[in-house]
Structure 1
Amino acid sequence: MIFTLVLVLIGVLLFLVIGINVIQQQKERAEAERRVELARQRAIIDETEEILSQSSMFPCSSQIILVLYKRVRDALKIAKGMAGTQVADYERRLNDISGQVTNISNGTQNTPPIEGFRLPDNDKQVLALVQVLKKLKAILRSEHNKGKVSMGIFSEEEGRIDSLQLRINVESMLSRAKMSCATKQYGTAKQMVTKALSTLQAIKAQTPNDPFIGRKVDEAKALLEEISGAQKESAPVVQQDKEEKDIDVLFQQKKKW
């Protein structure tokens, strides 16, 4: 009888130990998942706030600004429930962002024209702008897929980003063409200008009254003429050099064998 009771007690203890281990593992798993999710939400907040801080680099509409602020607000709501001892900080930030969302939603919608956009002179700023636009486009598509951005706003804002990216691409091609021309790589330079001109013509068909595109078309055509002229001038020089070498070979001292 005592032996049976001991076995029962041992079984109960084992069951309790196993149960406690299972509960502990579940708690640890839940804590790990909480930390991972909190880190993910913080990454979303940091990325979006970084884009907001750089939105002055290009003509940014109030619609896309609202999309970004709402993204931060939604991430803060989720993070607040997982923040633990930092919940007060997340609560304060959430109140600030919610106020921004309300102000933008109730304010006048502003959509600055992209025609006045000017590419930064600094290469680092241009690279930063390219990266910002790439991230912004990915965020816009992600929020649209989640049903948080209407089709109309998505199409309009994606078109604006595409147009800005094309402008940057054209500026980059013309800049590289000028560099190639300076180093007398006329074939590469002509290829770059021709590609830039083709892109500009496509944009001009969509926005015929854009003064920036008109100026860049004229600039590309002038650069193409300059490259073609440089090619023609360099061709006779090459031929003359070849003829001089042929004459030198003809009248050079014969070797005796």
Structure 2
Amino acid sequence: MGIIFALIIALIIIVVVLGAIQQHKEKVQREKRTKAAKQKAIIDETEELLLSIANLPNNPHLVLILNKRSLNAAKSMAKILPDDKPLIKRIREMQGRVSTSTSDTNHETGEQIFILPDNEQQLVSALQCIKKLRVILKSEQSKGNVDVQTFAQEEHKLSAMQLKIGVETLQKRGVIAYQKEMLGSARQYLEKALQTISESPIQTEYCLSKREEIQNVLDDITSSLNNTNAKDAAKKTKTEEDDLDLLFQPKKKW
């Protein structure tokens, strides 16, 4: 009887231990999947940005930074999933892209002019892309993957493009409102454009010329508003005079 009882106890212990081992294995697998999914999300986001920057001026240094980001994420993923053969193949492809990007940075031409797209949706997409790039650039610099000089140069380029999109968009809307004689709205748009320029930490030649250009339009709007107010005042005075004339004119005798 005692042997049977001992066997039952031993069986229960084995079941509990096996259950605990299985739960631990499942927990480890879940953690691996979570970590792998995080790295895959980084790769997917970076690959999407590499496609999006085709609409921005050619920038080999930024392409290199993004390619290295994808490669680092893929290597981290490979440590989690060492038996993933397609991933190993992809890493080799990414290494080739990094080598090509590195070569491109050695043959970089002068800084290109950023031409804004006419389409509103494309403009919004470009702005979203630039904002994401600035966040990623800062993140990679904090990880030690981008040196201080490269970070400063690329941050300056992205900041200048973001500023240009904001200023040009506000100016365009202000001019359209002015043409429609919506003087109050026009002034608000243009004043916001000037504020955007003033808040920029780096004042370039573009900022100086654009400030003068927008200020000239604002001066025209102010002049138009003054003329409109003068005309309204004159019209109001004339109406009041007519009312007085009507009130005090000699009464007709019937």
Same fold (TM > 0.5)? yes
Is contact 1:66–1:104 with CA below 8 Å preserved after alignment? Answer: yes
Q: What corresponds to 1:243 in structure 2? A: 237
Deviates more, 1:238-247 or 1:153-162: 238-247
Is contact 1:59–1:117 with CA below 8 Å preserved after alignment? Answer: yes
Q: What corresponds to 2:165 in structure 1? A: 168
How many aligned residue pairs are there?
245
What code does the residue aligned with 2:16 have?
Answer: I
TM-score (norm 2): 0.84
Unaligned runs of 5+ in 2: 248-254
**Partner SS, residue 139 of structure 1:** helix
Q: 1: distance between equivalents of 2:200 and 2:154?
A: 16
Deviation at 1:248, TM superposition (A): 5.9
Deviation at 1:93, TM superposition (A): 2.0
Asked whether 1:230 is paired with 2:227, we answer no
Identity value in percent? 31
CA RMSD of aligned residues (A): 2.7
Deviation at 1:207, TM superposition (A): 3.2
Q: Which residue of the other structure, out of 2, 9, 13, is the alignment partner of 2:7? A: 9
Q: 2: distance between equivalents of 1:237 and 1:150?
A: 62
Unaligned runs of 5+ in 1: 253-257
What code does the residue aligned with 2:222 have?
Answer: S
Q: 1: distance between equivalents of 2:80 and 2:177?
A: 55
Aligned pairs for 1:88-237 (under 5 A) are 88-107=85-104, 108-110=106-108, 112-114=110-112, 116-197=113-194, 199-200=196-197, 206-208=203-205, 213=207, 216-237=210-231
Q: 1: distance between equivalents of 2:68 and 2:26?
A: 32
Deviates more, 1:98-107 or 1:182-191: 182-191
Q: 1: distance between equivalents of 2:30 and 2:160?
A: 43
Q: 2: distance between equivalents of 1:33 and 1:62?
A: 36
Q: 2: distance between equivalents of 1:6 and 1:111?
A: 85
Deviation at 1:62, TM superposition (A): 1.5
Q: 1: distance between equivalents of 2:107 and 2:130?
A: 21
Is contact 2:166–2:196 with CA below 8 Å preserved after alignment? Answer: no
Inter-CA distance 93–248: structure 2 relative to 1 (3 Å threshold):
farther
Inter-CA distance 67–159: structure 2 relative to 1 (3 Å threshold):
same
Deviates more, 1:238-247 or 1:14-23: 238-247
Inter-CA distance 67–14: structure 2 relative to 1 (3 Å threshold):
same
Deviation at 1:143, TM superposition (A): 0.9
Deviations 1:156-190 (A, max 9, x none): 11111111111111112212322443454434433
Deviation at 1:204, TM superposition (A): 11
Inter-CA distance 22–248: structure 2 relative to 1 (3 Å threshold):
farther
What code does the residue aligned with 1:73 have?
Answer: L
**Partner SS, residue 220 of structure 1:** helix
Inter-CA distance 245–216: structure 2 relative to 1 (3 Å threshold):
same
Q: 2: distance between equivalents of 1:184 and 1:171?
A: 20
Q: 2: distance between equivalents of 1:178 and 1:204?
A: 26
**Partner SS, residue 62 of structure 2:** helix
**Partner SS, residue 147 of structure 1:** coil
Deviation at 1:84, TM superposition (A): 7.9
Is contact 1:60–1:111 with CA below 8 Å preserved after alignment? Answer: no
Is contact 1:80–1:91 with CA below 8 Å preserved after alignment? Answer: yes
Inter-CA distance 149–34: structure 2 relative to 1 (3 Å threshold):
same
Deviation at 1:30, TM superposition (A): 1.5
